[in-house]
Amino acid sequence: MALVNEPRHDEIGAPDRTPIAVPVTVGVTDDFPGGIAGFVARWRSLFTGLRITGGRALGPSKTLRYPAEKYEVSQRWRGALRLQGVLGKNEIPLLREPSPTYNAKIEELYRTDRLAPCMGNCPANVDARGQNYFMAEDRSVEAYELVRDRNILPGVLGRICHHPCETACRRNFYDEPVAIRPLHRIAYEAYTDQAPEIVPFERTSDKRIAIIGAGPSALAAAYDLMKLGYGVTAFEKEEKPGGALYSGVPSYRLPREVLHGEIDNIVALGLDLRCGVEVGPDVPIEHLLGEYDAVLIAVGLQQSRILPIPGNDSEGVRGALEFLRAANWRGEAGVKGKRVFVIGGGNVAVDVARCALRVGATEVRLACLEGDDEMPCHPWELEEGLDEGMIAMCSLGPEEVLAEDGVVVGMRMRECLAVFDETGRFSPKFGENLTDVPTDIVVFSIGQAPMLAGVVAGSDLHLTERGLLPVDGTVFTTDHPGVFACGEVVTGPGSCIGSISTGHEAAISIHRYLHDESLREGRVARPVPTYARYAVADVDGVEESRRRVEMPMARGEDRAHDFRQVELGLTHLEALQEAARCLRCQSEVCVGCTFCARTCPDYAIQVERVDDPGGRAVTRYDLDLTKCCFCGLCAEQCPTDALRHTGQYELSFYHRDLAQFDIDEMLRDGDGTRATGRDGEHGHKVGETQ
């Protein structure tokens, strides 16, 4: 017999009836060929059947003898649910490990899957989860002090950090990341308003350390060393501390009163800060080596690189750092009424372009090798610059500075076809087309270099042919005993939080050196965890209460004329609401995020919480086990790992009401033979007298 499809080529869409024929052709026959071939085929068929039958008869049984035999099910999906802890009853774990053992603690948490992604993705491993917990409870001073242990300038980084913590925030998977960086700023503002008494760190050691520089990496090392009981003196050649934060970061991003206010707080903790003292000309480094037990070089990068192209010595050619110092310190960079052409595609180049507008340039163009989708600057920086009137010219490389009588009149650019080769290495490929752009000022922003010759003069420290200081980037030692280095003088241009992390590492090395301990043996290097990158979530259907708070910005056409703050800041209430959005990942404490209930296909879970500052708590967590299909999706979604399966897969209840779990029963210890935990000496049947 045979079943054959009816043709449906003329139909459009789904059929309006169940088809009487299925798309299968089945042939059934008992015919064999004649003669000897048929005889052989019949016997072969017989033996094939006997072989199959015998194999199945002699093989293992396909049924299970319950309960002596049980089907093995993954423990991940077995048993009724319970909670490890809930907000309001259990504390969120905080990271307060001392600096010398901080890396080991981070490594342990990461290895045991207890490290929140925001903490693991931060170069300094700041406890952002703990900050958010304190902020939601309206305990801003505690939040500030917790963050300051690793990010020693929360008010500063709350304005300028590139926030890799938010990139890894698990909330990206559901809707939008928590605004961790702006919450740093709010914590600082609350700390400043409340002005708690600053108690200097106790001096417990007679050892003294000299630090050359007062930038972020130097301050981080000083903070850790003072906390460990050492005396620390920092020498800064400028009249004000801060390093690149003071000379390079524009005040529209970082108000100077915030920067110097936070540094003053570090000085109040015990730092001996000496500004206007340049090591080398004023104080030889050999003097420091004789007076102090260890010396840390943290001078950063102080000069701009200029491309060796024709016309680069013309009047009107400037370096980015020189330009930014003039704009930041004097509010005047000699470009008023002139056209400015910035070469470079990084964040410093964008800062130069935006500052040029603010000090009176009539036109500002920024040109870079990269296409608009591969520029190294942060996308929000570029967007803000374009809003203010900057003009971006991408996929162009500098060919020649055009000059007349030694004065800049234009810039000749060549088209760039590709920036990187097939292996991803920097190897620009240029085309034939040239573009001449009239301009009055050319600013090169293609990189920075250190100025170390004067610092190391008269000492045994040696520099490379390029003027760099040879440093072991693992333990931050130089070729001179007792001399260490950290910050961008070691790593090259990078982020502020990255420089801070090197300061912490250098402090550990100095601490070990002063205790005659091995700088490597038994030391845990800073872990570099990796986390999943999330695609941008569709938030069209997400309720407003779950959305990220928007940072209000000054209008582009208004802010481009002065150095007022671009970001206007959040209100106190907005900060509380945003901190409450934090999922407290990997804390093993349920925060009532409701993602388990939203995921459950059987609607078996109901969750409620209150968000009153000082009284935030999960007030309801109900589970109807009669609806649960044990799919495990709820536990898989739980961002805190608070929701667990007990492994109690065989369930029995005297009454349906016993299958209704409330929050207290969800917090049972998980032992016993029944999911309800009401068995044993305290168990009873419904209707029995207790």
Report whether 590 contacts 640 (CB < 8 A). yes
Residue 653 has a pLDDT of 64
Residue 658 has a pLDDT of 75
Residue 690 has a pLDDT of 35
Report whether 245 contacts 238 (CB < 8 A). no
Q: Other C-beta atoms within 10 Å of 160: how many?
A: 19
Burial of 508-517, coded b for 16+ CB within 10 Å and e otherwise, reads bbbbbbbeee
Nearest to 622 by CA among 641, 610, 609: 609
Instruction: Give per-residue pLDDT as tens, 416-466.
Output: 999 988 888 888 999 999 999 999 999 999 999 999 999 998 888 989 888
Helix, strand and coil in the chain, % to nearest 5: 35, 15, 50
**Predicted confidence band of residue 587 (pLDDT cuts 50, 70, 90):** very high
**Predicted confidence band of residue 689 (pLDDT cuts 50, 70, 90):** very low
Residue 363 clears pLDDT 60, i.e. is over it: yes
Q: Work out the burial of residue 115: count CB atoms within 10 Å of its CB; fewer than 13 is exposed, 13-18 middle, 19 or more buried.
A: buried
Three-class DSSP labels, 253-273? CCCHHHHHHHHHHHHHCCCEE
Residue 148 clears pLDDT 50, i.e. is over it: yes
What is each CA distance from 673 to 78, 489, 677, in whole angstroms?
13, 63, 8
Q: What percent of the chain stands above pLDDT 70? A: 88
Q: Which of 224-238, 305-319, 328-342, 526-540 has the lowest mean pLDDT?
A: 526-540
Residue 15 clears pLDDT 50, i.e. is over it: no
Residue 136 clears pLDDT 90, i.e. is over it: yes
Nearest to 343 by CA among 412, 432, 433, 271: 412
pTM: 0.84
Classify strands 272-275 and 231-236 as parallel, antiparallel or unpaired.
parallel
Mean pLDDT of the chain: 88
Nearest to 253 by CA among 345, 328, 169, 342: 328
Of residues 53 and 312, the one with the higher pLDDT is 312
Residue 390 has a pLDDT of 95
All domains of the chain, ordered by start, with CATH?
1-59 (no CATH), 99-196+538-580 (1.10.1060), 208-302+470-514 (3.50.50.60), 306-448 (3.50.50.60), 589-682 (3.30.70.3270)
Instruction: Give per-residue pLDDT as tens, 521-573.
Output: 999 998 888 887 888 888 888 888 889 999 999 988 888 888 989 999 999 99
Instruction: Give per-residue pLDDT as tens, 107-134.
Output: 999 999 999 999 999 999 999 999 999 9
At a CB cut-off of 8 Å and minimum separation 6, what does 689 contact? none
Residue 369 has a pLDDT of 94
Residue 423 has a pLDDT of 85
- Alpha helix ranges (H) inside 340-392: 347-358, 379-388
Nearest-5° angle of CA 270, CA 259, CA 147?
Answer: 70
Residue 139 has a pLDDT of 94
Report whether 589 contacts 92 (CB < 8 A). yes
Average pLDDT over residues 610-638: 88
Q: What distance in Å separates the CA atoms of residue 594 and residue 639, rounded to the nearest whole number?
A: 11
Instruction: Give per-residue pLDDT as tens, 217-262.
Output: 999 999 999 999 999 999 999 999 999 999 999 999 999 999 999 9
